[in-house]
Amino acid sequence: MYIIIVGAGNIGSNLIERAVTDGHDVVVIERDEERATAASAAYDCLVLNADATNNGTLREANIDRADAIISTTDVDAVNIMVMLLAQEHDVPNRVSVVHDPEHLPVFEKIGVTMIENPQRLIADYLYHSVQYPGVSDFIELDDKTELVELTVSEDAPMSGQPLNTAQESGNLPEGCLVVALMRDGEIRAPRGDTTIRAGDKVTVFTDDTALTDAVAAFTDNQS
């Protein structure tokens, strides 16, 4: 895949490293000379020290070849302009960071896949880590529901519990559904007769009202 990444700050640098490691063809556009030099030294890819809102820069980056463009700057106006230019060049996958929620309709109108306010995402992740120590990962699906990943503790109420009787027994709260399970390094689709074991890593769909009880059901590490 041919990917253009705009911005080599904290977010951009992590993306560059991931994309290069995965073997993609990557071109980086960074306006700041110091950041551009650092990225060029650190990663095996083409780095342009230039303005990505300039059509000439995008042509130099061979934007017409691009399968995707990701804009990670901390200025929404720059990200919007980059996305508009990418749209003109028919780049199929356009992704951008969005810092101000008021700008979301603009990005939506031009068909951009958005990552909203990464600083808030980090804050939410850290908050969940403190509030729910048993949660190893989570994804907010909307304002009321999320997916959480938990490792089942030995003394957890759900340890040794078949899923088809879990809610009837009161061990699994209403509003929770086990959607995936990893055991011995293998991902499985849980069924009604699946028995949860200590050490299993489960992914649970839950609404916010049941989140605390869901975490308590699979761990003995309650907050």
Sign of the Cα torsion 8, 14, 17, 20 reads negative
**Stretch 90-94: mean pLDDT:** 95
User: Domain 121-218 maps to which CATH number in 3.40.50.300, 3.30.300.30, 3.30.2010.30, 3.30.70.1450?
Assistant: 3.30.70.1450
**According to the per-residue pLDDT averaged within each range, which of 1-5, 131-135, 140-144, 174-178 is highest?**
1-5
What six digits make up the tokens of 8?
A: 């080599």
Identify the architecture of domain 2-116 in CATH. 3-Layer(aba) Sandwich (3.40)
N-terminal to C-terminal alpha carbon distance within the chain: 44
d(CA 185, CA 60): 44
pTM, 2 dp: 0.65
**Is a pLDDT exceeding 50 seen at residue 223?**
no
Q: pLDDT digit string (tens) for 112-137?
A: 988 776 766 666 766 666 667 777 77
Question: Amino acid identity of 89?
Answer: H
Contacts of 210 (CB under 8 A, 6+ apart): 173, 174, 175, 176
Does an H or E element contain 71, and which? strand 68-71
Q: What are the strands of the beta sheet with 68-71, ordered from one edge?
A: 46-48, 25-29, 2-6, 68-71, 93-98, 113-116
Does an H or E element contain 207, and which? strand 201-207
Mean residue pLDDT across the chain: 89
**Stretch 183-209: mean pLDDT:** 89
Q: Where are the domains of the chain?
A: 2-116, 121-218
User: C-alpha distances in angstroms, 62 versus 4, 26, 36, 50, 167?
Assistant: 9, 11, 18, 14, 56
**Stretch 193-216: mean pLDDT:** 89
